[in-house]
Every structure is written in structure tokens, then in C-alpha cells.
Structure 1
Amino acid sequence: MFTAAAVNTKYVGAITYLPVSGAKPLYRAPVIELASRRLAGWAIADHMGTELVSDALAAAERTRGSLNGAIMHTVHGSRYTSGAC
């Protein structure tokens, strides 16, 4: 289990596939802050690319303030380690 002793130090995220009847599937990328266990930011798109992740991280930054120095754990590392993020 992942935990954090202080807020804004550790985050987790995972891109989730959302099937949509009769339409192209959507993908959701949440960013959860571990100390508070709150949703810090999220994004939804029709692709699983870097823009989905950068939008989710930007939403988390607007909600929580600076993410500088924070650790982010994900299962889709290549999208989260892009030069754009």
C-alpha cells in the first residue's frame, strides 16, 4: 500500500479504459494525492497519449499548487515520463 506522511509529496495515477457504446472508447487519467487520498486532478480523452497525462497533471497542479519535488507512481510510465510532462 502506498502512503505519504506529508501532503503534495507523493501521487499515483493509472490510465483507465472507458468503453462507450457505439462510439470510440475514452481514457481517464486520475492523479491522486496519497496523504489526503483525494483526487487532485484528472483528464479524459479519446486517446492514451502524452496530452492526456499532461492535462491530468496540469489539473492536479491547479488544485494542489506546485508539484515540484513530488514523486508520481504510475503503471503507464512511458506516457508519464515524456519530455512534455
Structure 2
Amino acid sequence: MCDSCQFRAVRLARDCVAHEPIPDSRGTVSRRIRDRRLNACYRELTRARPTDTVTDVAFRWGFTDAGHFSRAFKQSFGVTPSSVLTHARSTG
């Protein structure tokens, strides 16, 4: 097998594994990674600096689309990221 084909085969195998369900788990590897990043964003939003925005926090944790981040955050936590940030600033 040529080097180029071997590289593609390894990449394909790696990409497929990232989307396979993990036995006795909450989903795929990529989903678990996304969930951990969302949890980190939630934590950071509750402790945000006065100048931080929701987009700043999302981008720091690797999200590149603010709309996608907001939808995923609301789906995971039942509240918007901006409401978490607003509440943290009003109580802290």
C-alpha cells in the first residue's frame, strides 16, 4: 500500500472510531468530548470576568459557531448560555 493510501486508511479508521458508540456509555467519543467542553463552558460562564462574552467563552473551548454553541448548550442544560452569564453577574 502506498504511503498516501495508508494515511487515508488510518484517517478513515480514526474518524469512524470517533463516531462509534462506546459500550455502556453515553454515546460516541466525539459526543463525550463535546459534553465535557460544554460543561467547562458552563463552569466558566458562572465565573466569567466582567469583559467576557458568551462567544469569548465558547471560542476558548473550541466552538467556532456561536449559534451552534448556543443550541447545544440549551439542549444540554435547558437554559441559554447568556442567561447563565447574566445570572452569574447579578449574583456575583
User: TM-score normalised to the size of structure 2?
Assistant: 0.29
With a CA cutoff of 8 Å and minimum separation of 6, indicate the structure with the bigger relative contact order.
1
When you count helix as a share of all residues, which structure comes out higher?
A: 2
TM-score (norm 1): 0.31
- The structure where strand makes up a greater share of residues is 1
Instruction: Answer with 1 or 2: which has the greater Rg.
Output: 2
